[in-house]
Amino acid sequence: MSDPSAQQPVAGIDPAKAPIQGGEWRGSNEAIVPAKAGSDIFFAAVKTTRMPMVVTDPHRPDNPIIFCNEAFSFMTGYSQDEILGYNCRFLQGPETDQTAIDEVRAAIAKREEVAVEVLNYRKNGSTFWNALFVSPVFGDDGELRYFFASQLDISRRREAEEALHEAQRMEAVGKLTGGIAHDFNNLLQVIQGYADILDARIGPDDRSARRAVDAISTSAARAATLTQQLLAFARKQELRDRLMNLNQLVGDFRPILERSVGAGITLKRDLASDLWNCRVDPVQTEMALLNIIANARDATGGAGTVTITTRNAVLPEDASVAKLEPGEYVVATIRDDGPGIDPTVAEKIFEPFYTTKEMGKGAGLGLAMVYGFMRQSGGIATVQNVPGGGAAFSLYFPRASGAVERKPTGPVAPHAGGAERVLMVEDQIEVGELGKTILEDLGYEVVLVDSARAALDTLHGDSDFRLLFTDILMPGGMNGVALAQAVRRDYPHTAVLLTTGFADEAIDAGSRSFELIRKPYRRNELNERIRAVLDKPGART
């Protein structure tokens, strides 16, 4: 920002007098006051109004300010002595848009009105967005006398607009990535599924074939992880949340977190004893913590301290988080003592595929997954630099009421395959044929249809099925959740297992009363989930 003390006041401004609309001003570095009673009321109003206003004299060198009201002085932080006699450019700084300044300069040269929004700097160096309106003032003879400028600090409006644009942009990216991930999950289902089938059929001595299948399975598993991260960012993953206390989750997950940070980093905890409960998906919450911890480990170079804190927060009284509704939240903060985050990077750090790491060191999806998961959970993820060095990632979860659910105890026995009849519904031909093959290999008798309507028609003629295994997203006006609800009502002896590689808020709400397996599923995983549905106490017979 230009330093006004480095500029010299325009000589001769002190006794200046000039007629304006039949009146007369007497100038001084203290103030400009009207000479005639006809202007007294007007200038008294201008002087006391809350809208910042200035008058400049184009007949003097450098078009200096010869009048400003108290509102302008308050807005900029400068005293009248530091304002009067200087050109308005002293409010400009490094980030001021010169295009807007050129527009003002051109309008003044043409003696025309102009309205712009420009980033200005206060005396203390802080910035504010200024809605500036400049108008020429002509005398009775049509000659230019002065330029009058009214101004308004619109910083809050600009920040709100930028937050809205950011939200819209992230939503658009989320829709794109969610759609890609959904289709890619179906492809991965086919790749991974047939790799499992080959794996079961390869002889123990065929090492070459075994290596090939293992490589396919490993790559497919890594790709599946990437698609889950994309779905998490897009808020299109299926969440299985439950009521719990974050302190318990952090405590139970601590051994894994300590292994993740490595031997050179000290992991500390500062957990609020009166922490409220929240409703979260524990698996996704643990993944979010792991991603942030990994980010902190890389930022500190594998040496330093990482501190996990939990606390209760009431917004907006507790903090300013623009994208959250006022209310009660549970906050988990992960702070490191590394170099902190470049402010220009902080704005992009939650975007998918954005990374500051070296090529091959990361896909840029970890923090994007965290952001999407938090938004889907009704909260938000934020990041900021902290005094003394380091960065702090904060996760805001909405407070929930009720008793914390207990974890089931005791070992879960493995399940063998069965010979029950299964009605499978899948509109993707390749995925459907794969699922049918897997189920038949496991010993089930399978009938495959490609729509919810076809499934109901099949049940109408033959209802002797122990299990309905259906995809959620299907064409034809009836999705898998609606089909499952109809089967539960009309064919209560048939159990239901849903599958999806995608999620939607409305669909997810309806699917919570059914068991679900996420795509891409593995052969053994599918069999275990089916047996858990069919063999659990109270299962339909």
- Residue range 474-519, pLDDT digits in tens: 877 888 889 999 999 999 999 999 988 765 554 555 667 888 888 8
Assign 161 a pLDDT band (cuts: 50, 70, 90).
confident
Highest-pLDDT range among 226-235, 240-249, 338-347: 240-249
DSSP state of 261: H
Domain-wise residue ranges, the chain: 4-153, 159-233, 242-398, 421-535
Which has the minimum average pLDDT: 5-14, 124-133, 321-330, 463-472? 5-14
- Per-residue b or e along 317-338, where b marks 16 or more CB atoms closer than 10 Å to that residue's CB: eeeebeebeeeebbbbbbbbbb
Task: Say if 159-233 and 242-398 have the same CATH topology.
Answer: no
Averaged pLDDT for residues 171-188: 68
Q: What is the pLDDT of residue 365?
A: 56
Q: In this model, does residue 11 exceed pLDDT 70?
A: no
Q: In this model, does residue 451 exceed pLDDT 80?
A: yes
User: CATH assignment of 4-153, given 3.90.1150.10, 3.30.450.20, 1.10.340.30, 3.40.640.10?
Assistant: 3.30.450.20
Which CATH code fits 242-398? Answer: 3.30.565.10
**DSSP characters over 50-98:** SS-EEEE-TTSTT--EEEE-HHHHHHH---HHHHTTS-GGGG--TTS-H
Distance from C-alpha of 223 to C-alpha of 186, rounded to nearest angstrom: 12
Q: In this model, does residue 148 exceed pLDDT 70?
A: yes
Distance from C-alpha of 309 to C-alpha of 268, rounded to nearest angstrom: 8
Assign 359 a pLDDT band (cuts: 50, 70, 90).
very low
- CB proximity list for 209: less than 8 A, separation 6 or greater: 198, 202
Q: What residue type is 59 in one-letter code?
A: H
Q: What is the pLDDT of residue 352?
A: 60
Q: What is the pLDDT of residue 508?
A: 55
Tell me how far CA of residue 306 lies from CA of 41, 249, 531, in angstroms: 63, 17, 42
Report residue 129: phi and psi, to 5°. Answer: -90, 125
Q: In this model, does residue 314 exceed pLDDT 60?
A: yes
Q: What is the pLDDT of residue 8?
A: 37
**What six digits make up the tokens of 174?**
């989320």
Return the residue matching tokens 């807007």: 100
pTM: 0.43
Which has the minimum average pLDDT: 45-59, 342-356, 382-396? 342-356
Which has the minimum average pLDDT: 60-74, 172-186, 366-380, 458-472? 172-186
CA atoms 442, 448, 453, 454: torsion sign = negative
Tell me how far CA of residue 197 lies from CA of 268, 436, 441, 471, 484, in angstroms: 46, 12, 8, 21, 28
pLDDT tens, position by position, 87-144: 988 999 888 989 999 999 999 999 999 999 999 999 988 889 999 999 999 988 889 9
Residue (of 345, 411, 374, 428) closest to 246 by Cα position: 374
Q: What angle do CA 189, 195, 196 make, to 5 degrees?
A: 90
User: CATH assignment of 159-233, given 1.10.287, 1.20.1250, 1.10.3470, 3.90.660?
Assistant: 1.10.287
161 vs 285, more confident: 285
The strands making up 421-425's β-sheet, listed across from edge to edge, are 445-449, 421-425, 467-471, 495-500, 515-518
Distance from C-alpha of 214 to C-alpha of 210, rounded to nearest angstrom: 6
| Total residues found in the chain within this entry | 541
Averaged pLDDT for residues 248-260: 84
As a whole number, the mean pLDDT across the chain is 78
Averaged pLDDT for residues 155-174: 70
Q: What is the pLDDT of residue 162?
A: 72
Q: In this model, does residue 31 exceed pLDDT 60?
A: no
Which has the minimum average pLDDT: 18-27, 315-324, 340-349? 18-27
271 vs 340, more confident: 271
Distance from C-alpha of 272 to C-alpha of 420, rounded to nearest angstrom: 51
Distance from C-alpha of 196 to C-alpha of 202, rounded to nearest angstrom: 10
Task: State the fold for domain 421-535.
Answer: Rossmann fold (3.40.50)
Distance from C-alpha of 429 to C-alpha of 440, rounded to nearest angstrom: 16
Averaged pLDDT for residues 141-164: 84
Assign 33 a pLDDT band (cuts: 50, 70, 90).
very low
pLDDT tens, position by position, 77-89: 999 889 999 998 8
Q: Is the distance from CB of 134 to CB of 104 less than 8 angstroms?
A: yes
Of all helices (H) and strands (E), which one includes residue 430? helix 429-441
182 vs 467, more confident: 467
Averaged pLDDT for residues 62-75: 90
Q: What is the pLDDT of residue 466?
A: 94
- CB proximity list for 159: less than 8 A, separation 6 or greater: 322
Q: What is the pLDDT of residue 415?
A: 46
Return the residue matching tokens 């293992």: 214
Q: What is the pLDDT of residue 188?
A: 80
